[in-house]
Structure 1
Amino acid sequence: MSYPFAGVTVLDLTQIYNGPYATFLLAQGGAEVIKIEPPGGEHLRKRSGSSGAAMPFAMLNANKRTMTLNLKTTEGRALLLQLVEKADVLVENFAPGVMDRLDLGEDVLRKANPRLIYASGSGYGKTGPYRDFPAMDLTVQAMAGVIDTTGYQDAPPVKAGPAVADFLAGIHLFGAISAALFERERTGRGRSVEVSMMEAVYPTLASGLGLYYGSGGQEVPRTGNRHTGLSLCPYNVYPTRDGYIAIITNNDQHWRYLVDALDAPQLAEDPRFGTVQDRCAHMDAVDAAIGDLTRPYGKTELFELLIRNRVPCAPVRTLAEVVNDPHLHARGSLQWIEHPEYGRIVVNTSPLRFAGEDGMVPYKPSSALGADTEAILTERLSLDAAQVERLRAQQVL
Structure 2
Amino acid sequence: MKKALEDIVVLDLGQIYNGPYCSLMLAFQGAKVIKIEPLKGENLRVRRKGDSHELLMLNSNKRSVSIDLKSEEGKELFLNLVKKADVIVENFSLGAMDRLGLGYEDLKEVNPQIIYASGKGYGLEGPYANRLAMDLTIQAMGGVMATTGFADKPPVKAGPALCDFLGGIHLFGGITTALYQREKTGEGQLIEVSMHDAIYPTLASALGAYYSSGGNVPQRTGNQHSGMATAPYNVYPTKDGHIAILCVADRQWQSLLKAMKRDDLLSDSRFQSNVDRSANTTIVDEIVTDWTSNKDKLEISDILIESSVPHAPVLSIEEVADDQHLIYREMIREVNHPVEGKIKVPGSPIRLSDSPLEEVIPAPLLGEHTEEVLQEMLNLTEDQLELLEERKIILQKDENDFQKVY
Residue 293 of structure 2 aligns with which residue?
Answer: 295
Contact 2:151 2:218 in 1 (8 A): no
Q: What residue identity is the alignment partner of 1:114?
A: P
Distance, in Å, in 1 between the alignment partners of 2:183 and 2:388 is 36
Distance, in Å, in 2 between the alignment partners of 1:338 and 1:66 is 17
Distance, in Å, in 2 between the alignment partners of 1:113 and 1:314 is 50
Residue 259 of structure 2 aligns with which residue?
Answer: 261
Identity %: 49
After superposition, what is the alpha-carbon deviation per residue over 1:27-47, rounded to whole angstroms, capped at 9, x for unaligned?
Answer: 000000000000100001223
> Which structure 2 residue ranges, 5 or more long, are not aligned?
395-406
TM-score, normalization by structure 2: 0.95
Shift of 1:210: 0.7
Shift of 1:350: 0.8
Shift of 1:49: 5.0
Residue 375 of structure 1 aligns with which residue?
Answer: 372
Shift of 1:200: 0.4
Task: Compute the RMSD of aligned alpha carbons.
Answer: 1.3
Q: What residue identity is the alignment partner of 2:139?
A: Q
Shift of 1:271: 1.8
- 1:78 pairs with 2:81: no
- 1:234 pairs with 2:232: yes
Distance, in Å, in 2 between the alignment partners of 1:8 and 1:183 is 14
Contact 1:49 1:55 in 2 (8 A): no
Distance, in Å, in 1 between the alignment partners of 2:13 and 2:338 is 23
Distance, in Å, in 2 between the alignment partners of 1:311 and 1:171 is 31
| Selected match of 1:387 from 369, 384, 387 | 384
Residue 26 of structure 1 aligns with which residue?
Answer: 26
Distance, in Å, in 2 between the alignment partners of 1:220 and 1:133 is 28
After superposition, what is the alpha-carbon deviation per residue over 1:114-164, rounded to whole angstroms, capped at 9, x for unaligned?
Answer: 111011001001111211111000000000010011000011110000000
Aligned residue runs from structure 1 range 14-163, under 5 A:
14-49=14-49, 54-163=52-161
Q: What residue identity is the alignment partner of 1:144?
A: G
Shift of 1:24: 0.1
Which aligned segments of 4 or more residues in structure 1 are displaced greater than 6 angstroms?
A: none
Residue 404 of structure 2 aligns with which residue?
Answer: none
Distance, in Å, in 1 between the alignment partners of 2:251 and 2:309 is 9
3-state SS of paired residue (1:327): helix
- 1:365 pairs with 2:362: yes
Residue 195 of structure 2 aligns with which residue?
Answer: 197
Distance, in Å, in 2 between the alignment partners of 1:272 and 1:127 is 51
Distance, in Å, in 2 between the alignment partners of 1:66 and 1:307 is 46
Residue 11 of structure 2 aligns with which residue?
Answer: 11
Residue 275 of structure 1 aligns with which residue?
Answer: 273
After superposition, what is the alpha-carbon deviation per residue over 1:21-74, rounded to whole angstroms, capped at 9, x for unaligned?
Answer: 000000000000000000100001223358xx8101011000000010111000
Residue 351 of structure 1 aligns with which residue?
Answer: 349
Distance, in Å, in 1 between the alignment partners of 2:219 and 2:349 is 34
Distance, in Å, in 1 between the alignment partners of 2:218 and 2:186 is 48
Distance, in Å, in 2 between the alignment partners of 1:348 and 1:364 is 11
Distance, in Å, in 1 between the alignment partners of 2:198 and 2:219 is 23
Contact 2:148 2:158 in 1 (8 A): yes
Distance, in Å, in 2 between the alignment partners of 1:330 and 1:82 is 43
Distance, in Å, in 1 between the alignment partners of 2:345 and 2:70 is 34
Distance, in Å, in 2 between the alignment partners of 1:28 and 1:71 is 27
3-state SS of paired residue (2:45): helix
Distance, in Å, in 1 between the alignment partners of 2:275 and 2:169 is 36
Contact 1:222 1:228 in 2 (8 A): yes
Shift of 1:219: 5.5
> Which structure 1 residue ranges, 5 or more long, are not aligned?
none
3-state SS of paired residue (1:90): strand
After superposition, what is the alpha-carbon deviation per residue over 1:5-36, rounded to whole angstroms, capped at 9, x for unaligned?
Answer: 01100000110001000000000000000000
Distance, in Å, in 1 between the alignment partners of 2:131 and 2:323 is 39
Q: What residue identity is the alignment partner of 1:28?
A: F
Distance, in Å, in 2 between the alignment partners of 1:67 and 1:221 is 46
Aligned length: 394
